[in-house]
Homo-oligomer: A and B are copies of this chain.
Amino acid sequence: MIINKVEDFLKKQLVLLLLLVSSNVCSQNVKVEMSSAQRSQIKRGYGMFIHFGINTFNEIEWSNGKLPASSYNPTNLDCDQWVKIAKEAGFRYVILVTKHHDGFCLWDSKFTDYDVAASPVKVDVVGEVAKACKKYGIKLGLYYSLWDRHEPSYKNNSDYVAYMKNQLTELMTNYGAICELWFDGAWDKKGYNWNLQQIYSDVKKLQPNCMITVNHSIGKPINRNVTQLPENYATGDPIRYFPIDFRIKDPNLVRWDDPKYYERDSTLYYLPFEHTICLSDRWNWFQKKNVLVPRPLDELEALFYWGTANDNILIINVPPDITGKIRTNEEHRILELADRLGIRGGKKKLPTGPINLAFKQPVVASTALEQHPATYANDFSLESFWAATDSMADIVMLFDSSVSFNYISIFENATLKDLGDNFSKLRVFSIKEYELQAFVGKNWDTFYKGDIIGACKIINLPKYIVTDKVRLKITQSNGKPSICHIGISKLTNAKK
């Protein structure tokens, strides 16, 4: 087994070397295809992200490294519970944040005093989670922030690289197999200052199958004038941090036909995308004193399908609270999702979502802002949106010929309301009444009438609708309606 891994690792290094050589000869011709470790990663597909750092105890998302270690004081710490819930909820692995931008370490590191050992509880949280992962039979991944607002050596690049190397050696040596390693906060220095080539290679020596990435993995496209968002990625866009094994661009979602090959030194590398979403309805990673509304179940179902399609991966952040346990509120929502997806207990294969028959169909809206045309409601992006200029509005999708469907998902675009904490925003939705209509004979037949859409509404029709024109008619709204996406699909097995 170990021999196999080493062999795999050496093979890959050899390929890299060959590619490096060959790239000087023929530009853009070399492709590095999916590796077996990537295949395993894609198969895992669904992970639980865990943020439980010093911020949890201070009602904050990002802190500056000056919060006292003594504040890290869970009264009822139960890492076993976290992983037990992850397993029951069908997650294949957990990714634990071992150190966030604040620099506080969740294990007893020999190289800093800003860690759990200096806290009242003195528990090695990384160790506890690793133990529970072994117990429940799920994989362990780790997150490690490059950016460090506490560590004094951070100012000196080479000193800090040595610091990171020491800490990563601890993490990669003492906790068994690590399936993923996430680097975050790279934006705080110029890329070359992190010495990623060296760090990557050091980690791989200790954990040959560990999949490594850096957040904001892909850089500005060279010849295209678009924003650097995953919905705009094209084959051959530059890899910003190198080397990496997969891509991240938190908190964005890739488009449906997400490309997989990205370029570095005239070589194209196969890189799946790992989606990151918060279970919370807001964008909050660390748990708060006030219980937060989780995302609606419909939205989670739709995001699961979107996030795991096309060889990509989804991780959902389920943060424990200040006492050290995942609250029932979050536990229940993630179990509800598992029940919906049929993956409770983690024994069944991850399901694939329905195909959207409406993708890129010709579409006509009653009104639209120039920058947000009707076509944005059924393009391949979940983030672009159609915006009407009137509070009453409709949008029609025209199919080449009749289609039969019984599953509809509608994502409304939110207005964001600042909550005053410099981080989280409340999503506010405006649609209050709408109809779904099919053109049958000479008339529009309303086959569904509803009141609220919200982040996402999934409609499972009890009978197939057959038509070549589908209309969403918004009849009441608190503002000008705005729709990110409409999916129209045919399910052959009834879903509830």
Q: A446–B462 Cα gap in the complex (Å)?
A: 34
A452: Cβ under 8 A from any B Cβ:
yes
A401 at the A/B interface (Cβ < 8 Å)? no
Q: Which residues of B contact A449 (CB under 8 A)?
A: 291-294, 329
Residues of chain B with a CB closer than 8 A to A438's CB: 328
Cα A445 to Cα B327 with chains together (Å) = 7
* Chain B residues, CB < 8 A from A340: 496
B293 touches A450 (CB 8 A): yes
Complex contacts, A335 vs chain B, CB 8 Å:
462-463
Residues 209-230 of A at the B interface (beta carbon under 8 Å): none
Q: Which of A294, A338, A438, A447 has the most CB of B within 10 A?
A: A447
Name the distance in Å between A350's Cβ and chain B's nearest Cβ.
18
Among A293, A449, A450, find the residue whose CB has the most chain B CB atoms closer than 10 A.
Answer: A449
Q: Which residues of B contact A328 (CB under 8 A)?
A: 438, 445-448, 465
> Which of B291, B336, B454, B465 is A435 in contact with, Cβ under 8 Å?
B291
Judged by a CB distance under 8 angstroms, whether A33 is at the interface is: no
Do residues B292 and A332 form an inter-chain contact, with CB atoms below 8 A?
no
In Å, the complex CA distance between A57 and B3 comes to 81
Q: Mark A381-392, 1 if CB is under 8 A from B, else 0.
A: 000000000000
B339 touches A496 (CB 8 A): yes
A451 CB within 8 Å of chain B: yes
Q: Looking across the interface, which residue of chain B has its beta carbon closest to that of A473?
A: B291
A311 within 8 A of B: no
A405 to chain B, nearest CB (A): 13
Contact, CB under 8 Å: B433 / A339? no
**Given the complex of chains A and B, what is the CA–CA distance between A451 and B327 in angstroms?**
18
Complex Cα–Cα for A292 and B450 (A): 9
Q: What's the minimum C-beta distance from A494 to chain B, rounded to whole angstroms?
A: 7
State whether the Cβ of A6 lies closer than 8 Å to any Cβ in chain B.
no
Contacts of A118 in B (CB 8 A): none
Could you tell me which residues of chain A, from 262 to 308, have a CB within 8 Å of some CB in chain B? Answer: 281, 291-294
Chain B residue, CB-CB nearest to A435: B291
A468 at the interface (CB under 8 A from B): no
Q: Mark A313-328, 1 if CB is under 8 A from B, else 0.
A: 0000000000000011
Smallest Cβ distance from A273 to chain B, in angstroms? 29
Closest B residue to A443 by CB, please name it.
B323
Q: In the complex, are the beta carbons of A332 and B463 less than 8 A apart?
A: yes
Does A461 reach chain B (CB closer than 8 Å)?
yes
Query: Taking the complex as formed, is A202 at the interface, i.e. its CB lies under 8 A from any CB of chain B?
Result: no
Measured CB to CB, the closest approach of chain B to A327, in angstroms, equals: 6
Contacts A291-B435, A462-B339 given; indicate if A447 touches B494 (C-beta within 8 A): no
Can you show 6 pairs from A to B with CB atoms below 8 A apart? A332-B448, A332-B461, A332-B462, A332-B463, A336-B462, A339-B496
Name 17 extra pairs, CB < 8 A, besides A291-B435, A332-B462.
A281-B451, A291-B446, A292-B449, A293-B433, A293-B449, A293-B451, A294-B449, A328-B447, A328-B448, A329-B446, A332-B447, A335-B462, A335-B463, A336-B462, A338-B462, A339-B494, A452-B452
